[in-house]
Amino acid sequence: MLEAIDLGYRFGSSGPWLFQGMNIRIGPGEVVGLFGPSGLGKTTFGHLLGGYLAPAQGRVLLGGAALPVRGYCPVQCVHQHPELSVNPRWRLGRTLREAYDPPEALLDSLGIAAAWLSRYPHELSGGELQRIAVARALGPGTRYLVADEMTAMLDAITQAHIWRAVMDHCRENGVGALVISHDEALLARLCSRVIACGGVTGGMSAAVDLAGMESGEGFAGDRAQAAGSAA
Amino acid sequence: MLRVNDLTISFTRYGRGVSRDALKPVCGLNLDVKPGELLAVIGSSGSGKSLLAHAILGILPGNCRVEGGLLFRGEPLTPRRQKALRGRSIALIPQSVGFLNPLVRLGGQVRRAAALSGMAGGQARHAADAAFSRYGLAPAVSRYFPHQVSGGMARRVLSATATVGDADLIIADEPTTGLHREASRESLGFLRALADAGKSVLVITHDLKAVLPWADRVAVFHGGTTVELTAAANFSNDLSGLRHPYSRAMWMALPENEFAAEHASTQGGEQGCPFSYLCGCSDAACAAAPPAPVLFEDGFVRCHHA
C-alpha cells in the first residue's frame, strides 16, 4: 500500500501552499488516475510520492514505513519529457541498464529495438526515448509507478502501445500506478478510479475522488463544488 | 494558397571518419491548403511533420537537400522568396514559451514582429495593440516578461506575434502540447477564427482527437510521406470514409475507441510502401514500389489496395 497522508507542499518556507491535506491510497496492482488542469500541483504531488521532494506537511508511506532515502526507490516516476530525463552524453544502453538489466521480454513488449541502445538520445524520437524511460523505471524493485503525462506528447498509436505493455507488466507483477493526465478518456481506459482536481478557479484544494468519496481520499476542501466542476 | 508536390528532403550525415550516408526523412510528400481552410497534419514523431514546416519557411539546416515543388500562391517558393515572405505572408506559431525572448517584455516582442513584417513605428504599435486585444490580453500584460505569464497566455502572445503582420498562411507547430482541455480548445479556436477570416492555417500535431473538431481536412503522415489526405469528417466510428489502413489504425488507437496498438513502429521500409511491413493486407506489390496517390474528390490516398 502506497499512502499519502495529509500531504502539503509549498515552494520555500513562506510561499503560498500549492496544495494541503492531500490523501491518497494505492494498493498493489491498483491503477489510480489523477486528473485536472495544469498548474494545480499534480506533477509536484507525483514528485512527493516518488521521493524527489520532501513534503512540507504530511507523510508518504510505503507499506506503513517511510520511503527509503538511499538506494533504489520502490516508487518510480516517468516524466512527460523523456529527452530531459536521460543523460544526453550517455548512449541509451547505459541509461537503460543504469539500475538493472531489463529482460528481453520487457524490451520486446515495449518495442525497443537493439539498434537504439548504441545511439545517443538526440538520435531517437520522443516516442522511442519514452519507451526506454519506461523500461528503465520498471525494475524488479519497483512497487509503484508514477506516470506523469507519460504519453501526452505521443501519437495515439504509440500511446496505446506503451500503455498496453505497462499495464501488462503491472498486472503480472502486482505493481500499482498513479496515472497523471488531462485526458479523461485515457484515464477511463486505464484506471479503476480517478481523482479529479477542481476547475480553473477551484485549485488543488477543491478536488475529490469521484469513485471513492467515502474512503476519505482525495483533497480536503469543498467537495460538492469540485464534483460539480468535474462533472 | 500553398501546394506541396512530391517534396523530398534528404540529409547528408557524416558517419565514422569521412564516410557519408544520406537519410531521406521526407519522401514524396503531397498536400495543399486552400484559403479559409484549416488543414491538420497528423503523424507520429519522426514522420516528417516538423521538417515540412521548416521546408516551407526555408529554415532547414545546411546539410539538407530539398527536391520537389513548393508553390505559394501558384508561384514556386525559392529561398529568396521564402526569405521575403516569412514573417510577412507566411507566419509560424512555434510550440512553446521557450520561443519568446526571455529578456524582452511581451509588448516589445509583438511590436518587433509587426515592425519586421514591414510596418512603420506608429503603425506597428497600433497593430500590436490590436493583436493584444484580439487575443484577450490586457494592456498590462505587454509590460510582463515571458516568465511572468502562464503557458496558455504565452501561447496567446505567440499567436499575436504570428498574426500581427496579417500573414496569409499560418503554420502552427503542436499548438496543444502541454495544454489542458480548455486551453487547447482556446488555442485551436483562435486558429479556426483565422481560417474563418480567410487565411490558410496548417496545424501540425500528433493529437488527432484535439484537432479533429476544428479541421476541415486532415493530412496523415507516415514514414515521411502523406499516406492520406481526407475530410476531417471521415474520422468517425464508421471507418468506411478512411481509405488508408494507417489512418484507420490511428483512429482505432484513441482511448475512446479500441485503444488498439498494432501499428506502433515509426520506421518506414527502405523501398515500397512505408507501411507495408506493418500492414495486414500487404503483398508483393506493396513491398516492390511505393504506391502513387489515388485521387478522390476530397483528397487522395497512397495505398495499392484502396
Looking at residue B10, which CATH number applies to its domain? Answer: 3.40.50.300
Q: Does residue B45 sit at the A interface (CB-CB below 8 Å)?
A: yes
**CB–CB contact A127 B255 (8 Å):** no
For residue A164, list chain B residues with Cβ-Cβ distance below 8 A: 259, 261
Q: How many domains does chain A have?
A: 1
Interval A19-56: pLDDT, tens: 888 899 999 999 999 987 777 788 889 999 999 999 99
Q: What is the pLDDT of residue A214?
A: 35
Strand partners, A160: none
Residue of A nearest to B260 (CA): A160
CA nearest to B98, candidates B142, B153, B146: B146
Shortest CB distance from A153 goes to which of B46, B181, B206? B206
On the CB side of A99, how many CA atoms lie within 13 Å of its CA? 17
Strand partners, A208: A196
What is the arithmetic mean of pLDDT over B221-248?
90
B134 occurs within a structural domain: no
Shortest CB distance from B250 goes to which of A80, A149, A157? A157
For residue B191, give every residue at least 6 positions away whose Cβ sits within 8 Å of its Cβ, in sequence order, or none: B38, B93, B159, B170, B172, B175, B201, B203, B214
Give the pLDDT band of residue B109 (cuts 50, 70, 90). Answer: very high
Which is it for the CA torsion A171, A174, A175, A178, positive or negative? positive
B182 occurs within a structural domain: yes
- The ipTM (two decimal places) reads 0.80
For residue B45, give every residue at least 6 positions away whose Cβ sits within 8 Å of its Cβ, in sequence order, or none: A125, A126, A127, A153, A154, A155, A158, B206, B266
Residues 47-106 of B with CB under 8 A from A: none
B234: left (phi over 0), alpha (psi -120 to 50) or beta: alpha
**CB–CB contact A188 B255 (8 Å):** yes
Q: What is the pLDDT of residue A226?
A: 37
Q: How many domains does chain B have?
A: 1
Q: What is the pLDDT of residue A60?
A: 95
For residue A152, list chain B residues with Cβ-Cβ distance below 8 A: 177-178
For residue B183, list chain A residues with Cβ-Cβ distance below 8 A: 37-38
pLDDT of residue B161 exceeding 70, the answer is yes
Interval B35-68: pLDDT, tens: 999 999 998 877 888 889 989 999 888 888 899 8
Residue of B nearest to A161 (CA): B261
Give the pLDDT band of residue B304 (cuts 50, 70, 90). Answer: confident
Q: Domain range holding B192?
A: 2-89+167-301
**CB–CB contact A38 B183 (8 Å):** yes
Q: Domain range holding A116?
A: 2-230
The CA distance from B268 to B301, in Å, is: 17
Q: What is the pLDDT of residue B32?
A: 93
For residue A14, give every residue at least 6 positions away whose Cβ sits within 8 Å of its Cβ, in sequence order, or none: none
Task: State the CATH number of the domain containing residue A93.
Answer: 3.40.50.300
For residue B211, list chain A residues with Cβ-Cβ distance below 8 A: none
Residue of B nearest to A199 (CA): B182
pLDDT of residue B23 exceeding 90, the answer is no
Is residue A76 classed as helix, strand or coil in its secondary structure?
strand
| pLDDT-flagged residues of chain A (< 70) | 198-231
pLDDT of residue B167 exceeding 60, the answer is yes
For residue B61, list chain A residues with Cβ-Cβ distance below 8 A: none
Strand partners, A168: none
B224 occurs within a structural domain: yes
What is the DSSP code string of B137-158?
A: --GGGGGS-GGGS-HHHHHHHH
Residue of A nearest to B181 (CA): A182
Shortest CB distance from B180 goes to which of A37, A160, A188? A37
Residue A189 contacts residue A181 (beta carbons within 8 Å): no
Q: Does residue A43 sit at the B interface (CB-CB below 8 Å)?
A: no
How many beta-carbon pairs below 8 A join chains A and B? Answer: 89
On the CB side of A8, how many CA atoms lie within 13 Å of its CA? 14
**CB–CB contact A126 B45 (8 Å):** yes
B116 occurs within a structural domain: no
Q: What is the pLDDT of residue B270?
A: 60
Q: What is the pLDDT of residue B269?
A: 53
Using CA atoms, how far residue B283 sits from A61, A201, B245, B280, B287, in Å, is 56, 56, 14, 9, 7
